[in-house]
Each structure stands twice: as C-alpha cells, then as structure tokens.
C-alpha cells in the first residue's frame, strides 16, 4: 500500500512558545488548533480525526476531544517519543486512504519548563528499565552520549563537527523571530559549555521550553478547495529499534535508515531531490546519525558533511531552518515543529529564513533514545 498523495497538510500553527506559565496544556492546544484551522480555512465542525501525544495525562485523546468539543471518528495516540507526530501524519494519511476520516488534527502541548517537570531521571525503573535505571544514566542525554562516543571512535568525528550543528541551528534561529535563543553562538562556545555526559556538553543538547502546535491534515478531496496550496505527503516510513540503549545493535545506525528507505521508496525519490530538510536535533549527534541514515552522506561522513557552515544560512544544504530544538524551541517532544516548519518553507512563508528552492521537503523525527524514527517526504504542487 502506498500513502503517496493520499493526504495533504492544510494548516499549521504553534501555540505560544518559550516560557508560558499562565496557560495549561489544553489552553495551548486549543489556541494552536484554532490558528491551524484558520490557516487551513476549515471549520472546526469538519474535524473527524484526532492524533495526539504528550506527557501530561493518560487519556490525551479523550481529554482534548472533550475540551475542544470535537467528535473524532478516528483517533490515534501513538507515543514513541518526540517522533510521534510524524507517525501521526502517516497514520492520518492511512486512515484517510481507508476512508475513515477526512479532516484530522495533530496536536501537542507542554508546559514542562514552567512546571519544572523535566529531570534527567528515567521515567521509572520498572520492567526492562530496572537493568539500566539504577546505574544513574542521565536520560535521554546519556544514551546519546554513548552513541556520540562510539561514532567518534569509529569514524574520528570531532566535537567541533558536532558543534557545527548547534552553531548552524543558532544562525537559523537568529532569522526566526519566534526562536527562544537568538544571541550569537560560536563553536568555541559549544566546546566550552559545561559537560553533561561526555562527549556531549550543554550546548550540544536541545532547549527546555514550553510550547505546542497543531497540524491540520486533510483527504485529497478536501485539499482541492483550500485557501492555501496544499502540502502533499509523498512518502512515509517508520521504524523502531530498541528501548534500552544496551539493545541498540549498532550505536551509529539510527532507525532513520529503515524509516527513510521506506519513505523514499514510497515517494519514488532520492535524497538529492529534497530541497529542505528538517531533522530532529534532540542532540547534535542525532543530526549527524540521521543524515547518514537517510543517505545524504555515507556512514562516518556526516561530520565533514556539516562542516564549514554547509548547513547554516547561506550554506548549500538547508537544514533545520527554524533553529530546531537546539535554538528555536523544545517543549519535550519536537516532532510537530518539524512538520510546521517544513510546511511553511514549502509555502514560502518563512520571511528572512525562507530558502529559495522549496518544492520538496523531508522531515525526520527521532524518538526516545534513538529508539524510533518516522520520516516523511512532502511537496507542494
């Protein structure tokens, strides 16, 4: 089965971002949903699909549907870490292809920063986690540090090359008025920031902010009558590899490899045909591993690939143009923001950070500790 052009993204919006102590996660998602539906020109009463994930409750779909007063015929709460929303996009397209819904909302909201919810502790030490939790591994940075150390050992990747990812993200963020961190950043700043889990230092790690977002996905017959040009889903792939870091077979090979292969096959495209790329940058190493996994460069070559400002504004590879989780926002789960930025780039709505070549986009979301990945290929007509 293919999801090629079986669904389109019609509207996107963020909630307020950064530090939002005066809202609840439901207020945030209501605002984002209202703005995304307005962006699409679709009435809320048409919404018949709901996709959401988060860390704020146990029955997200029920609570959000009730709060927003919507009646989903189809809903999905897939929760595989920050990549979940890219899973949702593929699942929404599959549901539409099966005729199960026509207008779906994908939603996220978090006030983890204001509530000081984020710690470095594993969620719990039960079941499988009892074999790793008691060792005091900071989570999720520790497992990513182990992957970075292994990549450096195998391929000679350097901390400077990792830092290139953070510096480029900051340069993009300086062009994005909504970005949380906009002051200049140098490679030396990243190298000199305090160590968290070697070789990763504080500025190799994503932000901790509040924020949320909404994406409106529609079936092809609805996409034809939108006020804005639809952004089509051409390919989707997902893959998962492990939950405990000891169970990841090769720490240098992300599940983005399998997911990306599936997405490219579905879209009948190759990496060279992608104009704009948005890769989940939970940590600098995540971007390097994902670039290799997706086939943009060979295994071990990602450090060189990102060097000399290639992924920064003005470079020849447009990556994470919002400023990413490293500098724009990171409210715990970033996947939905990859979708939002890709849609805006394809529509040409990105102002100072707008890239010139913008017909196709790839988004690749990695969840948990390199555990899950969904990759989607998008295009405008």
- Residue 97's φ and ψ, nearest 5 degrees, are -65, -30
- In 10 A of CB 123, how many CB atoms? 10
3-state helix, strand, coil in the chain (%, to 5): 40, 20, 45
Count the neighbouring beta carbons within 10 Å of the beta carbon of residue 118. Answer: 14
Residue 194: DSSP 8-state: P
Cβ contact 209:329 at 8 Å: yes
Instruction: Decide: 217 and 75 in contact? Cβ < 8 Å.
Output: no
List contacts with other proteins (CB under 8 A). 119-122, 125-128, 130-139, 141-142, 145-147, 149-150, 153, 194-200, 244-247, 251
Q: Which is nearer to other proteins, 125 or 224 (CB)?
A: 125
Q: Which is nearer to other proteins, 149 or 191 (CB)?
A: 149
Q: How far is the CB of 326 from other proteins (least distance, A)?
A: 18
How far is residue 337's CA from residue 362's CA, in Å, rounded to a whole number? Answer: 13
Handedness of CA 162, 354, 370, 183 (dihedral sign): positive
Minimum separation from the CB atom of position 302 to other proteins (A): 17
User: Minimum distance from CB of 151 to other proteins (Å)?
Assistant: 9
Query: Phi, psi (5° rounding) for residue 341?
Result: -70, -40
Shortest separation between residue 207's beta carbon and other proteins, angstroms: 16
Strands 103-110 and 231-240: unpaired
Contact 31, 15 (CB under 8 A): yes
Closest CA to 232 of 4, 64, 40: 4
Say which residue the tokens 């060279």 belong to. 272
Which element (helix H / strand E) includes 345? helix 335-347
Name residues whose C-beta falls within 8 Å of residue 51's C-beta, 6 or more positions apart in sequence: 75, 76, 77, 78, 85, 88, 89, 91, 92, 104, 105, 106, 107
Give which of 24, 197, 31 is closest to 112, Cα–Cα: 24
């Amino acid at each position: 089965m293919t999801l090629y052009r079986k669904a389109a993204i019609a509207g996107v919006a963020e909630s307020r971002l950064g530090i939002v102590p005066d809202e609840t996660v439901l207020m945030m998602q209501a605002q984002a949903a209202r703005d995304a539906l307005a962006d699409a020109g679709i009435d809320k009463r048409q919404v018949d699909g709901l996709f959401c994930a988060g860390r704020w409750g146990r029955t997200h779909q029920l609570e959000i549907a009730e709060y927003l007063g919507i009646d989903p015929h189809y809903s999905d709460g897939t929760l595989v870490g920050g990549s979940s929303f890219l899973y949702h996009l593929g699942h929404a397209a599959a549901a539409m292809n099966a005729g199960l819904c026509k207008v779906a909302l994908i939603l996220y909201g978090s006030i983890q920063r204001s509530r000081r919810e984020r710690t470095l502790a594993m969620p719990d030490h039960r079941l499988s986690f009892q074999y790793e939790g008691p060792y005091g591994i900071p989570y999720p940075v520790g497992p990513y540090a182990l992957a970075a150390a292994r990549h450096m050992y195998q391929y000679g990747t350097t901390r400077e090359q990792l830092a290139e990812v953070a510096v480029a993200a900051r340069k993009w963020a300086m062009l994005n008025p909504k970005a949380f961190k906009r002051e200049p950043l140098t490679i030396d700043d990243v190298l000199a920031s305090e160590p968290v889990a070697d070789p990763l230092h504080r500025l190799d790690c994503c932000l901790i902010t509040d924020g949320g977002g909404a994406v409106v996905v529609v079936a092809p017959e609805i996409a034809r009558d939108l006020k804005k040009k639809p952004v089509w889903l051409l390919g989707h792939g997902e893959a998962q590899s492990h939950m405990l870091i000891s169970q990841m077979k090769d720490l240098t090979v992300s599940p983005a490899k399998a997911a990306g292969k599936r997405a490219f096959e579905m879209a009948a495209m190759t990496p060279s045909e992608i104009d704009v790329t948005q890769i989940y940058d939970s940590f600098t190493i995540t971007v390097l591993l994902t670039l290799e996994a997706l086939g943009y460069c060979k295994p071990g070559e990602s450090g060189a690939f990102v060097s000399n400002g290639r992924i920064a504004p003005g470079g020849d590879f447009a990556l994470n143009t919002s400023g990413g989780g490293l500098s724009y926002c990171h409210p715990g789960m970033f996947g939905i923001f990859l979708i939002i930025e890709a849609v805006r780039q394809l529509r040409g709505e990105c102002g100072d950070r707008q890239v010139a070549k913008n017909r196709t986009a790839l988004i690749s979301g990695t969840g948990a500790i390199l555990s899950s990945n969904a990759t989607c290929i998008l295009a405008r007509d």
